[in-house]
Chains A and B, each alone.
Chain A
Amino acid sequence: MPMSDRITEKLSILADAAKYDVSCASSGSDRKNNNNGLGNASNGICHAYTEDGRCVSLLKILLTNHCIFDCAYCVSRKSNDIKRAAFTVQEVVDLTINFYRRNYIEGLFLSSGIFKNADYTMERLVSVAKKLRTEHKFNGYIHLKTIPGASDELVKEAGLWADRLSINVEMPTEKSLALLAPDKNRADMLKPMQFLKDAIIQNKEEKKLFASTPMFAPAGQSTQMVIGATPETDLEILWLANGFYKKFNMRRVYYSGYVPISNDNRLPAIGTPVPMIRENRLYQADWLMRFYGFKVQEIVNHENPLLDTDIDPKLSWALRNLQLFPVDINKAGYEVIVRIPGIGIQSAQKICAARKFRRLNSTHLQKLGIAYNRAKYFISSDTEFEKKDWHPNQIKSFILKEGNSKYEANFSPQLKLF
C-alpha cells in the first residue's frame, strides 16, 4: 500500500474512533506566537461543521485504538472486532502542522486507547505535544486526554505543553461505571482532577510572583459523561456537573448522548435514537448555571428530577415560579431580567443600557431583538394582554403553539420515508 493510502486509512480509523468525545473547545487559552513560530491560541474558532452539525475546531484523533480495557459503551473496547491502527508520533505531528498551516484547524486534541499501561500511553501523548512545542515552535491549541492512573509527574509534564487537559468521568454514577467499565474506577479519575486543579492554582500564584513562570494548562480542564446509556436522572447528572464546576474549577462539562454501537445487553440496543433533545436540554441547563446565575437546585430538584423535553429549562423554571413575575423591565436589576424567558445575556445588557435614555415599551423591546412572543408573559408592560392571570399550562401551550420546535421531527412517532 502506498504511504499516502496507509496514512489515509489510519486517519479514517483513528478519527472515527475519537469522534464520540464531544469536547471541541479551542478557547480559553492565551498562548501567543512570541517566538516567530507557528500559531497562537485565543478565543477559539470553529473551522468547519460536520453534517451532524457539530463543530470541527481541532484535529481530534486517537494515537491508537488498541486498548486493553473493555468498556461496554466504547467503540474501541478490547472485545470489539474492529480494525486497529496506531499513528507514529511523527505522523501526528506532520498532520497537525500541515492542517494548521492551511487554516483547517485550531490545533490538536489527542487521546488514545490504553496500550500496555496508563503511564506508557500517557508518555506517548506527552511526547507528541512536547515535539510540537519544542521542535516545531507550534503555539496552536493542544488538548491532551489524561489517562486515568497516569503518574503525577506525567500529568504535570502534560500541563506544561498542553493548553487543556481532560479526564472523562464517563458515567454519571460509580454504579454505572462499575457495570459498564469494570477496568476503570472513579478514584483514578478524580485523583488527577484534584492534582490538576491544585497545580493550576499553584501556577497562577507563581505567575503573580514571577512573570517568567511557564504556562500550565492555561485553558484548564474539562470532563465528559455519557448520558442515556444508563438510568440516571437529570438531577444526578447536573448535580455531578455542578460539583465538577465548584470543586475542581472545571472549565466545561460535556454531555455526550449515547450513540448505540453495541449489542451488549447492558446498553440500549443498536437503532435506539440518540438522546439529542435531552443532551440539548442538559447543555441549556449547564449554561443557566454558568452564565445566568442559576443554582442547580433551581433547575432540577427532588420534586423535578427530569428536565422537560418540550420546553427549555429556563421556561420550565419560570412556569414553576410564576409568583416572581411579571418583571418590570424598566426597573428590575440585570440579574432578574436575564432570567426572563426569551431574553438572553446580550438582550438583557441592551435593555439595561437603553432604558437609561427613555422608558422602554413593547415596541422598543421587539426592535431590540428579544424573543418577545415568549417574554411577553413574564414582563409587566403597556399592553393589556399580559395582565391576565394565565395558568402555567396555558402559557406553555401558547408558547408551544407559536414556535416550531427544532426537534419536532424527533417527537413524531411516524417513520420518515425520505
Chain B
Amino acid sequence: MTVVVYDGSFEGLLTAVFEVYEYKLPQPFIAREAATTGSLFGETHTVITNAEKSNRVYQKLKAIISAKTIKQLYDTYLSEIKEIENVLLRFIQYALQSNFTIENDYTKADVLLIQQTSKKVNREKHRMKAFVRFQLTKDQLYYCIIQPDYNVLPLIGKHFKERYADQRWLLYDGLRKYGLYYNGETVEEVQMHFEADLNNEQNLATLHDEKEELYQQLWKQYFSSVNIQARKNMKLHIRQMPKRYWRYLVEKQ
C-alpha cells in the first residue's frame, strides 16, 4: 500500500489523483496531512499541490462527466468524512477506465455514496442559509458564528454576498477556525483569534448595536406568537430544527 499524503485542499486532492497515475503508485491510499501518522507497512508518497497537475485532472473530468457530477465530487470532498478521498479516487478511476458515462450507475457503491454524500452536504449548506442569525455590532458589522457539520462556508459565500450586498458581514466557522468577511465589495477568507472574547456572552453584548437586543426580542416574540398551540408537534419541530443548531438560533435561546 502507498499512503498518498496531500495538504487537504481540493487542488491538492486532484494533484494526488494525478500522481497516482503519474507514478503508477501501487495500492494508493490518499490521506490528509493531519490525518496521517505514517504507514507501518508501506511507502509514503507526499504530494505537493500543483496547479498544472490538478487542472489537467479537472479538464479530463470535464471531458468525461457532467458539470453537475463534478460539483458533486467537490461537495463530497467538503464533507471531510474519513477516507472520503479514496471513494473519490475510485470514482475517478472507474470513470476513466469506462468508455461510457458512469455517473448514474447508482448500483455501484462508490457512485451511490457520492450522490448521497453530496446531498447531505447540500442539506447542510441549505441549513446554514436558513439558520444563520446575524447580530449587529456597534460598528455596523453583521456577524454570526456557525459550527456546520460539513465544511460548507465555500458553498454559501456567494448566496450571502448577493443577498446582503449593502451590509458588511462576517460568517465564522468556529470549528474549522476560519471565516468569510464581506467588506461591501468582495468576500475574503479570514482567520481570527478572538475565541476568548466571542465565547463570552457579556463581552459580545457590549459590542452590540443599541437596537440589537430589541430586534432579538421582537423576533422571539414573533416566533412564539405564530405558533398554534392546538397543533403542537414537538417531534416534527425537532426533526426540522435539530437541537444541535439551536445554539445559533436567537428564537431558541
Binding site for B on A (CB under 8 A): 4, 7-8, 11-12, 15-16, 18-20, 32-33, 36-40, 45-56, 59-60, 95, 98-99, 101-104, 137, 257, 259-260, 274, 276, 350, 353-354, 356-358, 360, 364, 367-369, 406
B211 at the interface (CB under 8 A from A): yes
B126 at the interface (CB under 8 A from A): yes
- In the complex, are the beta carbons of A39 and B106 less than 8 A apart? no
Return the contact of A354 from the options B104, B131, B165, B231 (Cβ within 8 A).
Answer: B104
- In the complex, are the beta carbons of A98 and B215 less than 8 A apart? yes
- In the complex, are the beta carbons of A56 and B136 less than 8 A apart? no
- In the complex, are the beta carbons of B233 and A48 less than 8 A apart? no
Residues of B within 8 A of A103 (CB): 132-134, 144
**Chain A residue with the shortest CB-CB distance to B184:** A36
Nearest CB on B from A29, distance (A): 13
B105 at the interface (CB under 8 A from A): yes
- In the complex, are the beta carbons of A48 and B134 less than 8 A apart? no
Return the 3 tightest CB-CB contacts between A and B, nearest first.
A53-B236, A353-B104, A52-B231
B196 at the interface (CB under 8 A from A): no
- In the complex, are the beta carbons of A274 and B226 less than 8 A apart? no
- In the complex, are the beta carbons of B129 and A101 less than 8 A apart? no
**Chain B residue with the shortest CB-CB distance to A52:** B231
B163 at the interface (CB under 8 A from A): yes
Name 28 A/B residue pairs within 8 A (Cβ), A-sorted. Answer: A4-B217, A11-B218, A15-B225, A16-B226, A18-B226, A19-B225, A33-B162, A37-B166, A38-B166, A40-B162, A40-B163, A50-B226, A52-B231, A53-B237, A54-B226, A95-B218, A101-B134, A101-B142, A102-B133, A102-B135, A102-B219, A259-B228, A274-B230, A353-B106, A357-B104, A367-B112, A368-B106, A368-B112
With A15-B225, A16-B226, A368-B106 in contact, do A51 and B234 touch (Cβ < 8 Å)? yes
- In the complex, are the beta carbons of A360 and B231 less than 8 A apart? no
Chain B, interface residues (CB within 8 Å), range: 35 or more
- In the complex, are the beta carbons of A53 and B165 less than 8 A apart? no
Known: A12-B225, A19-B226, A40-B162. 13 other contacts (CB 8 A): A11-B218, A19-B227, A20-B228, A38-B165, A48-B251, A52-B233, A53-B235, A56-B223, A101-B164, A102-B219, A350-B106, A357-B104, A357-B105
- In the complex, are the beta carbons of A276 and B130 less than 8 A apart? no
- In the complex, are the beta carbons of B221 and A49 less than 8 A apart? no
B204 at the interface (CB under 8 A from A): no
- In the complex, are the beta carbons of A7 and B226 less than 8 A apart? no
Bound CA–CA A353/B115 (angstroms)? 13
Residues of B within 8 A of A8 (CB): 217-218, 221
**Chain B residue with the shortest CB-CB distance to A354:** B106
- In the complex, are the beta carbons of A45 and B251 less than 8 A apart? no
Residues of A within 8 A of B134 (CB): 101-103
Q: Mark B7-46, 1 if CB is under 8 A from A, else 0.
A: 0000000000000000000000000000000000000000
- In the complex, are the beta carbons of A356 and B221 less than 8 A apart? no
Return the contact of B133 from the options A46, A104, A257, A354 (Cβ within 8 A).
Answer: A104
Residues of A within 8 A of B226 (CB): 15-16, 18-19, 50, 54, 56, 60
Residues of A within 8 A of B142 (CB): 101-102
Residues of A within 8 A of B232 (CB): 51-52
Return the contact of B230 from the options A16, A18, A259, A367 (Cβ within 8 A).
Answer: A259
